């Protein structure tokens, strides 16, 4: 992984962009759950990451017509998810421990 602005020691930054709706739009929440599982989060706590991505997508693009970019920042026991579309942005932070 290359070092980028905003990178933290003992953490990571993951960026992805997906359509707000449709078949490919479902990748965002599913990837979020898989990411949480890779970080050691299981069960309902992991599904909260997918739910958060769905909520952020709806908040930032209610029409569901454009791509939404996500950044996942893990620091310690928290995962911050940033959703962005043009100048619009929304952020949520989730605890990774049960």
Edge-to-edge strands, sheet with 67-75: 11-19, 67-75, 78-85, 88-95
Exposed / middle / buried, residue 58 (Cβ in 10 Å: 0-12, 13-18, 19+)? middle
- Specify the CATH number for the domain of residue 66: 3.30.565.10
Looking at residue 42, the DSSP 8-state letter turns out to be: -
Q: What is the pLDDT of residue 98?
A: 57
On whether residue 3 sits in a domain, the answer given is no
Question: pLDDT, tens digit, for every residue of 1-58?
Answer: 344 455 445 566 778 888 777 777 788 888 888 888 887 777 888 888 889 988 998 8
Question: pLDDT, tens digit, for every residue of 54-93?
Answer: 899 889 988 877 888 888 888 888 888 999 998 999 999 9
Distance CA 93, CA 74 (A): 10
On whether residue 8 sits in a domain, the answer given is no
Instruction: Specify the DSSP element, H or E, that contains 30.
Output: helix 27-38
On whether residue 7 sits in a domain, the answer given is no
On whether residue 2 sits in a domain, the answer given is no
Domain interval for residue 23: 13-95
């Amino acid at each position: 992984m290359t070092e980028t602005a905003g990178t933290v020691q003992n953490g990571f930054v993951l960026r992805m962009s997906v359509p707000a709706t449709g078949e490919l739009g479902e990748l965002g929440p599913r990837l979020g759950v898989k990411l949480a599982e890779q970080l050691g989060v299981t069960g309902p706590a992991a599904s909260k990451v997918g739910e958060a991505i769905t909520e952020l997508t709806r908040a930032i693009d209610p029409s569901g017509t454009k791509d939404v970019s996500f950044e996942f920042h893990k620091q310690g026991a928290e995962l911050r998810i940033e959703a962005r579309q043009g100048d619009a942005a929304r952020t949520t932070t989730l605890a990774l421990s049960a």
